Structure 1
Amino acid sequence: MQLDADTRHPAPRSGSVGPARVGPGFIARYAAAYMGTSLVLIAPVSITLALKVNALVGIARAPATLALVVGVGSLVALVGNPLVGRLSDRTTSRFGRRRPWMVLGLLGGTAAITVVATADTVGVVLVGWCAAQLCFNALLAVQVAVLPDQVPTAQRGLVSGILGVCLPIASVGATFLVRTFIGSQLTMFLAPCVVGGVCVLAFAATLDDRRLPRDDRPAWSSRELAGTFYFDPRRCPDFAWAFASRFLFVLAYAFLSTYQVYYLIDHLGTAEGAVPQQVFVATLVQATAVVVTSLVSGRVSDRLGRRKPFVAGAAVVYAVAMVVVGLADSYGGFLVGIAISGLGFGMYFAVDLALVADVLPDQAHAAKDLGVLNYAGALPFAVAPALAPSILAGSGGSYPVLYAVAAGCAALGAAAILPVKAAR
């Protein structure tokens, strides 16, 4: 195992020659680590957190209570993600810029998940989930930064496509682990952390992490700190449009993933005990579609040198999926919508990350900029729980209306990518 970063690969400066091609071993380890991070984030958001809240307050109060917990946690993630990204850009540790934050994020997040699992009040769940969001999003921020750090432009579509496959595989793994340990609430929460943690630590131990010489670290200032949390859309219009597109697309996804447990119980009449099995099957169906479209779309995008048609088309497909889910009156109809959503989701995230990496404002501060971009991934999970109760209340508890709103968000996400000029 290589614990000291190779000094032949210092942190790149803006405008420097890009990284060399990466081999299959690196891609496999990177994908496994990314899948591990997705696993620890997805398991609570998709099922265990909802079940925990439901056990504490009952189904009548659960949607609003979950909205509070998930929403506040997402706001915490908005701060932690770019802040840790900026700190990792400035880190001069002998272990590299990204590796120390991977380890700290994983360990801190696992401890916080333990707090959530053993909580006996909603207040403790809220505190624990906020801490978990802070730590796990710190882990995510530095992992995403590895793409522009280590992968050349010509391979980013391929690697991004493989990373896109990791999310559905992690979703399947999360629901499988939850279903396997349904009798033990603590194990349901911790099993994904153990499995995901092994993958993350294996990657961190072998990563040829780039080191930043102390003399090259910029002086810290209050202005630089404030700049951690925003970018100027007038100076970076392409990045701004990519941000808007991702925000709208993830918002559509957040409506589906955050409320699918209650959709199954309230709209389709599923018994609570059958929910983990139904979510597992639906996730497996979605994952199959995602795997196929992610691998094909990323490679074809690299060969054609085009990103925008794939991203826009994927968002349109996802909009159609939300309409199908909303109109479903049986579990079978729900699965059809989920399968279509997998096609759109796989294509979108196979190519969108590559597009974003190509239009970053400053490659020298990639983790900071990607941390700001992750607002577009975290903020929807605060916005969706805030909007969904009002949409449901105003429509008489109509999930078709809720998912029609989600379809509209996805369609707007397709439109938002079209003005990007630096990518074809």
Structure 2
Amino acid sequence: MTHRNPQANAFSYNSDSVGLAEHPSWVTPTDDQQLKIPVRTGVALAIGVLLWLGPYLGLVGVLVPQQVARIDPAHKTADIALMSTVAMIVSTIANVIEGGLSDRTRSRWGRRTPWIVAGSVGTFVCMLFWAQCTQVWQVVLSDSVYMIFLNMIVAPLIAVIADRTSPKYRGTISSVYALGNSAGQYGGQMLASFFLPIPKTGFVVMAVMSLLSGPVAALILREQSTKGMSVPKVTLRTFSDNFVFPTKHVRDYYLALFGKLCMQTASFAISGYQLYILTDYILLKGKTLQGYVSAISMIMMVTAIVLCIVAGPVSDKLKMRKMPVIVSGILIALGSYVPYLTHEPYIMLVYALIVGIGMGMFNSVDQALNIEVLPDPRTAAKDLGILNIANNGGQVFGPIFSAAVIQYFGYRGIFPLAAGLALMGVILVFFIRKVR
């Protein structure tokens, strides 16, 4: 779906930099105006997401579960579920408000830069405090405040794809973004595993990486000033447009939202308890445990990166978004189910291989699909922020559902749960109409 702005037709826009002086940064270029792949945009997005997502998942996937297990070993699964639930509530509110404010920001540094820089500084400070927690309530509080600052990076940064990329290049740029996403998602956990013997040092390393995320991305992006951007006064109507869930032309938008939520929940139902699955279901410990955490992360990172390189450009060439997402969901379901068959250690490597392929394909095309179902390009950051709630929601609902299943069926019950959720996501995406 291409959104055209009559004002934009008067300008020539053929790369990241050519025409920027003439082309308003808040007007999305059309296919005719953007003659080259916006390489700098892709590089900024990949580095930006790598530097915020890697530390985040390194913490919540490895170091924080270890921290919680040390503080309260008898209730560790319930504690993680509580932390995730509170973080989800905070993140949902922060995503909508900060994304909406970002859409309306007029500054000499652009719409997105002030937010992603401020968010990076805030996450850095939060992680340093987080490392010192000795009570469960302190862990929950640290995570919640951290989510406020993290969403200052997440919602504005992902909106850059809609700001600066024409429809014909969205699959490719989404793939570049997914490269950073995959490297952060799995590389962060692999890096964190090396700090299991020295967790406080790990927190500091992750904090420094997060601190670099916004400033590095901003330096590469070099956003135009938005001082000349027209921003409507806040009225009941503009408040509804900018700070409330969209209500018009939203059928495909919400199908994409809930389809994404199901697939992310499937992914995090397993990865959110990966450390406990390896210790309590696969029965690993010591250096063998550390080795498997690293091996699983490496396999998923490599397979995801390979698929990211291939899937997005192929999606652009075939002009297809929906079908690659459906295929990826089926692979995620299949890979999630295989550990149900045995608790031999090798099965987690098989899981990593299949799910890594599926997640690589999903991440590389999903953002392009999301942008093409947006109800209004003028509120891109807010609406993409709401779609990002599916990521946060997956990180919350996955551990919550898994905790309930573990209580009644043990760790083995997680795997059919995750497979079923992924297939539910496939069904929802299948019913999207406006995108092939």
Would you say the 8 A contact 1:47–1:276 is kept in 2?
no
Would you say the 8 A contact 1:75–1:378 is kept in 2?
no
Q: Indicate whether 1:10 and 2:21 are aligned.
A: no
- Go from structure 1 to structure 2 and tell me whether the alpha carbon gap of 1:19 and 1:45 turns closer, same or farther (over 3 Å shift): farther
Matching residue of 2:9:
none
Structure 1 stretches lacking a partner, 5+ long: 1-5
Q: Indicate whether 1:410 and 2:432 are aligned.
A: no
Q: Indicate whether 1:32 and 2:83 are aligned.
A: no
Q: How does 1:226-237 map to 2 (within 5 A)?
A: 228-232=243-247, 235-237=249-251
Q: How does 1:13-412 map to 2 (within 5 A)?
A: 20=34, 21-58=36-73, 60-213=74-227, 216-221=230-235, 224-225=238-239, 228-232=243-247, 235-271=249-285, 274-395=288-409, 397=410, 399-412=411-424
Counterpart residue identity of residue 409, structure 1 = L
- Go from structure 1 to structure 2 and tell me whether the alpha carbon gap of 1:378 and 1:308 turns closer, same or farther (over 3 Å shift): same
Question: What whole-Å deviation, never above 9, does each CA across 1:231-255 have from its counterpart, x for those lacking one?
Answer: 22x6311111111110110010110
Q: Percent identity?
A: 25
Q: Cα distance, 1:107 vs. partner?
A: 0.7
C-alpha distance in 1, partners of 2:309/2:176? 6
C-alpha distance in 2, partners of 1:54/1:19? 54
Would you say the 8 A contact 1:148–1:357 is kept in 2?
yes
Q: How does the TM-score come out when normalised to structure 1?
A: 0.92
Would you say the 8 A contact 1:82–1:229 is kept in 2?
yes
C-alpha distance in 2, partners of 1:120/1:152? 49
C-alpha distance in 2, partners of 1:358/1:297? 17
Would you say the 8 A contact 2:58–2:190 is kept in 1?
no
Counterpart residue identity of residue 254, structure 2 = A
Counterpart residue identity of residue 423, structure 2 = A
- Go from structure 1 to structure 2 and tell me whether the alpha carbon gap of 1:326 and 1:222 turns closer, same or farther (over 3 Å shift): farther
Q: Cα distance, 1:178 vs. partner?
A: 2.2
Query: How many residue pairs get matched?
Result: 416
Q: Cα distance, 1:421 vs. partner?
A: 1.8
Question: What whole-Å deviation, never above 9, does each CA across 1:92-125 have from its counterpart, x for those lacking one?
Answer: 1111100000011111011111111111111111
C-alpha distance in 2, partners of 1:128/1:19? 45
Q: How does the TM-score come out when normalised to structure 2?
A: 0.90
Q: Cα distance, 1:292 vs. partner?
A: 1.5
Structure 2 stretches lacking a partner, 5+ long: 1-19
Q: Cα distance, 1:168 vs. partner?
A: 2.5
Counterpart residue identity of residue 415, structure 2 = Y
Question: Greater CA deviation, 220-229 or 305-314?
Answer: 220-229
RMSD of equivalent CA atoms:
2.2
Counterpart residue identity of residue 191, structure 2 = L
Question: Greater CA deviation, 370-379 or 95-104?
Answer: 370-379
C-alpha distance in 1, partners of 2:38/2:21? 20
Q: Cα distance, 1:85 vs. partner?
A: 0.6
SS at match of 1:423: coil
Would you say the 8 A contact 1:244–1:413 is kept in 2?
yes
